[in-house]
């Protein structure tokens, strides 16, 4: 079974630029999560999708972050404009509906200069 795929693996941008991350969950997984992991901390949930609907985006900085999951499969997370404090690893995870195990992708490491 293929795992959660993410791209790019690394990205370096300057502040105020835009950036987008892509996630392809495990086939058949209805629930998809985006996490932000700042160095030295545990992952923090940004947004949760159930199929193509948003379940929880309470911790998403909506003035600069946006996410979508078209057709309930792939998802993109965008930051516009980026700030220095956005430097982090962005993790995508997926989960088979009504299961308790989240499967994580390798993450995208973002550095904002």
For 38-74, the three-class secondary structure string (H helix, E strand, C coil) is CCCCCCEEEEEEECCEEEECCCCCCCCEEEECHHHCC
Based on the shown chain and the rule CB under 8 A, indicate whether residue 16 belongs to the binding site for another protein: no
Q: Is 97 in a helix, a strand, or coil?
A: coil
Considering only CA atoms, give the Rg of the chain. 13
Q: Phi then psi for 84, rounded to 5 degrees?
A: -55, -40
- Nearest CB to another protein, comparing residues 31 and 86: 31
Segment contacting another protein by CB under 8 A, of 19-27, 61-69, 75-83, 104-112: 104-112
# binding residues, another protein (CB under 8 A): 25
For another protein, the binding residue among 56, 62, 68, 85 (CB under 8 A) is 56
Instruction: Please give the residue ranges that form the binding site for another protein (CB under 8 A).
Output: 3, 33, 40-45, 48, 55-56, 89, 91, 93, 98-107, 109
């Amino acid at each position: 079974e293929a795992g959660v795929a993410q791209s790019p693996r690394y990205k370096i941008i300057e502040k105020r630029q835009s950036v987008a991350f892509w996630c392809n969950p495990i086939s058949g997984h209805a629930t998809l999560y985006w996490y932000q992991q700042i160095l030295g901390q545990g992952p923090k949930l940004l947004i949760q999708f159930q199929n193509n609907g948003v379940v929880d985006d309470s911790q998403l900085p909506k003035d600069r972050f946006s996410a979508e999951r078209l057709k309930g499969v792939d998802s993109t997370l965008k930051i516009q404009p980026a700030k220095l404090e956005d430097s982090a690893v962005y993790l995508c995870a997926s989960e088979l509906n009504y299961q308790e195990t989240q499967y994580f992708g390798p993450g995208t490491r973002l550095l904002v200069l």
